[in-house]
Structure 1
Amino acid sequence: MSLPNKRRRATIANLVALLGMPTVTFAHPHIFVDAKFEAIAAPDGSLQELRDTWQFDEVFSSSVLLDFDKNRNNVLDPAEVAAVAKTVRESLAQYNYYTNVTINGKALAFAKPDVLHGTYENGSLILSFAQKPMAKTPLKGLIVFGVYDPTLYTALDFASDADLKISGEGFNRCSRKVVRPDSKEILAENKAMLTTMFFNDPKGTDYSQVVATRLEVRC
């Protein structure tokens, strides 16, 4: 194997590792993302698709630049960003792209995004993608949308409640509420239980779900 090919495999492995490290080793975030989310309803009152946009912090973005900037011009050109997006698309499939949706407590399954779109702007990597439900999903009852990393390695932050949106005629009869749990209170109230979780669940813990910002829609 040539040196360029060896380096290529190493950098891809590095990106995959950065996006999905196990909770047991890391109990606090190492990657920070400014996130935006939109749920879109079809006119018939069913869930049509979900749209996510993630802007990565400059430290992580610079590490990606170091690994994927083939022509060494200190930016990620469209082809280089496409290579990053393809790697992320494959590596985050096992985490459902950090997307968790329930209707009346029942989890929904989503198809893998057809493609991740990416840009590199002002030193930050930005990725966006859409997901469609695997089956027709009528919007009835309580729908909870959560976008978070179950391993706690990546922190996805929604700067304002407006960054969690619903749109489409099917949502016209629904109410919307953004919930931001107080992580300090939850830690204080569940300290003993969380210690057990962290050391016995290598695939992630319920704690990530409990403290995650979520969008609740009632139809």
Structure 2
Amino acid sequence: MDHLPAELLSGYRNFMGGRYATETTRYRELARKGQQPQTMVIACCDSRAAPETIFDAGPGELFVVRNVANLVPPYEPDDRHHSTSAALEFAVQSLKVKNIVVLGHGRCGGIRAALDPSAEPLSPGDFIGKWMSLVSPAAETVTGNKMMTVGERQTSLERISIRYSIANLRTFPCVKILEGKGRLSLHGAWFDISTGELWIMNRETGDFERPEID
């Protein structure tokens, strides 16, 4: 019989003897009553930028959906499969979250791929290329700016894509209506893997700023 990787089993043992042991009541309450998170986080698949770790969240506190480059597609009610849109619909309509945070991060592989038009597809389906085409207009503009360094172009598109995703969130009727009523807040944030810094998007100007942390 195949087994899980040893490091996963070891981590599970640590979890059962550590966090689960100290929060057993909380887990059992969540199992009995269901989840009621106040915040949804749309984050990247990158293993270095886990929202639960960055925000030190406990069980049941965050509803997280992760995809390549933390993108939100525009509202498209067709017969295709829309994973991120489905998660958004569930969070807003069923869980009734009060906040949605689009969390980007530095050194994002998806953003790097969007900035390299000469990159060869990883598969015949080119799923990453098609997905990253959501930010193609911005990628083309940033790539064309030769006054910026490679690193500056990368960081710029990582942050611009967050603004793109927030704009796309507002194309969903349920999001636009609830935000208009003051029952839902949209936020953007960018995490620097190298330094651990968190930058918050100013909702009025779109600028990314460091929050004051005591």
TM-score by shorter chain over 0.5: no
Higher relative contact order (Cα pairs below 8 Å, separated by 6+ residues): 1
- More helix per residue: 2
Q: What band does the TM-score fall into relative to the shorter chain?
A: under 0.3
**TM-score, normalised by the number of residues in structure 1:** 0.28
More strand by share: 1
